[in-house]
Amino acid sequence: MKILVTGGTGYIGSHTVVKLLEQNYEVVIVDDLSNSEESVLDAIKEITGKQPLFYQFDLCDSVKVAELFTEHKDIQAIIHFAASKAVGESVQNPLKYYRNNLDSLINLLYQMEQHSISNMVFSSSCTVYGQPDKLPVTEQTPFKPAESPYGNTKQVGEEILRDTTNAIDQIQAIALRYFNPVGAHESALIGELPKGVPNNLVPFITQTAAGEREQLSIFGSDYDTHDGTAMRDYIHVVDLADAHVIALERLLDTKQKSSFEFFNLGTGNGCTVLETVKKFEEVSGVQLNYKLTDRRPGDVEKIYADTSFANKELGWSAKLGLGDMMASAWKWQKRISKID
């Protein structure tokens, strides 16, 4: 069964491609390599012994998208990761985010309608909730105004999916609202590989530990948390990849209960930035050079998931803890930085 994975050389995409290949799906990847490397394909092959088909182009190019679907008329489902995803950058460059994240989704949905493709798993985010009034966040927590253009693109993306699945009977979609993915594959052959200065906490931690960054900045020390730093729900990327395959099979087996479903994917545990730093120091044995600095525009204060709905409906739960996440991220960083 052929599955299209957009953004499949990216961080979460590559881990999901590995899971799909291990379960004998045929995978076609489209990625523009704006935040990933083509060498990831070699790592995927080394892990699985299988080579996915790969196309490099921008999904905002509707002509290229149409050509892909004409060439691969037997695509059964799409897992759509491809998007710009840095909260801070989205505040500085909102038009880039609205174009990349929404045009690409619309182009894919149009081709799904044209080629009678029924199933999409959509990469959403806990940023759709804004800063919730009440924690933990359930799937019924109302959306607050997004704290960033990135978060707003995920809110609007879900609205587009809801409207489209309501209007076009053949199309079903599941949106997976990730909390904060971290960690790397146990082989250390794939992991988070941001281009330039990392926007996410853990690669900045590991690059600082590896000596590639002079100092780690912790944005905000006056939040309403027990240590003043922002609180997040960190989830291992391998657990997250498992959830995508489960959601895909729910669609393929027509087990969904409505044409558009959505699930929170997290551990249900809130950890502050300082707690995460301390856990990394504990598992790695490396003391980090860090400083507390001003809050960063677009960041929410604290958020963590109630995952009971995903646990019950999908039969999925996160299995790996924060120590596993930090240890695998450090193993990956040591490999790419050539540290013994």
Which two structure tokens, joined as six digits, stand for 75?
């695509």
pLDDT for 278 beyond 90? yes
Q: Rounded to the nearest 5°, which phi and psi values hold at 234?
A: -85, 135
DSSP-assigned beta bridge partners for residue 4: 28, 78
Over residues 104-114, the mean pLDDT reads: 98
| Rounded distance between C-alpha atoms, residue 189 and residue 186, angstroms | 8
pLDDT for 94 beyond 90? yes
pLDDT for 196 beyond 90? no
What pLDDT is attached to residue 230?
97
Which two structure tokens, joined as six digits, stand for 311?
């646990």
pLDDT for 138 beyond 90? yes
For 287: left if phi > 0, alpha if psi spans -120 to 50, otherwise beta; the answer is beta
- Residue reference for tokens 């009440």: 134
For 254: left if phi > 0, alpha if psi spans -120 to 50, otherwise beta; the answer is left
What pLDDT is attached to residue 199?
84
- Residue reference for tokens 């598992």: 283
CATH architecture, domain 2-182+236-265: 3-Layer(aba) Sandwich (3.40)
What pLDDT is attached to residue 340?
84
55 annotated active-site: no
- What residue segments make up the domains of the chain, in order of their start? 2-182+236-265
What pLDDT is attached to residue 139?
98
Contact 158, 245 (CB under 8 A): no
pLDDT for 195 beyond 90? no
Mean pLDDT computed over every residue of the chain: 97
What pLDDT is attached to residue 219?
96
What pLDDT is attached to residue 140?
97
Task: Give 303-333 pLDDT, tens digit per residue.
Answer: 999 999 999 999 999 999 999 999 999 999 9
The single residue of 150, 223, 234, 304 carrying the catalytic annotation is 150
Q: Band of the pLDDT at 298, cuts 50, 70, 90? A: confident
Over residues 57-73, the mean pLDDT reads: 98
| Rounded distance between C-alpha atoms, residue 222 and residue 208, angstroms | 23
Over residues 94-120, the mean pLDDT reads: 98
How far is it between the farthest Cα atoms of the chain?
56
Over residues 32-60, the mean pLDDT reads: 97
% of the chain exceeding 90 in pLDDT: 96
Of 307, 319, 321, nearest in space to 262 by CA = 307
pLDDT for 194 beyond 90? no
Contacts of residue 308, defined as CB under 8 A and 6 or more positions apart, other chains included, come to 138
Over residues 139-157, the mean pLDDT reads: 95
pLDDT for 184 beyond 90? yes
